[in-house]
């Protein structure tokens, strides 16, 4: 559930729905990769002001519902999520890197949309 983030000079509730497809839209997100992805996202929460409210995985893409602060641009949030998760997944699951011909985990593109303060967070977690 989202909650108000209070800073010294502001308070905010900023949420984004982000969809990141795997490279070539390959079906590389197995149960094990899903578990690792969620573990890495919990680590990201500890290091950055990014909260994962929901993470919904499909075989070829992932839906994230994230809350962050105004000092991070939407593209910075996506870049942090994609770079850290890709590196950690490849370390833990070298077979995924092989399935992607030794290339990148995520496509260059992504979808991002803002979610209103009273938006439906359950939609993302499907």
Please report, for the chain, the start and end positions of each structural domain, with discontinuous segments joined by +: 10-118
pTM score of the predicted model: 0.87
pLDDT tens column, 56-87: 999 999 999 999 999 999 999 999 999 999 99
Three-state DSSP at 18 gives strand
What pLDDT, on the 0 to 100 scale, is given for residue 126? 47
Torsion of CA 63, 35, 2, 43, to 10 degrees: -110
**What number does CATH give the domain 10-118?**
3.30.70.1290
pLDDT of residue 119: 59
Residue ranges with strand state E in 1-98: 5-6, 11-12, 14-21, 50-57, 61-68
> For the chain, which ranges sit under pLDDT 70?
117-126
């Amino acid at each position: 559930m989202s909650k108000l983030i209070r800073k010294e000079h502001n308070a905010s509730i900023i949420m984004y729905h982000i969809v990141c497809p795997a490279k070539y839209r390959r079906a590389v997100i197995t149960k094990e990769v899903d578990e690792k992805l969620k573990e890495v996202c919990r680590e990201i929460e500890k290091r950055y002001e990014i909260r994962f409210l929901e993470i919904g995985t499909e075989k070829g893409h992932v839906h994230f519902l994230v809350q962050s602060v105004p000092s991070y641009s939407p593209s910075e949030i996506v870049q942090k999520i994609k770079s850290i998760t890709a590196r950690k997944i490849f370390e833990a699951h070298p077979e995924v890197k092989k399935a992607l011909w030794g290339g990148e985990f995520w496509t260059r593109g992504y979808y991002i949309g803002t979610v209103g303060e009273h938006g439906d967070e359950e939609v993302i977690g499907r």
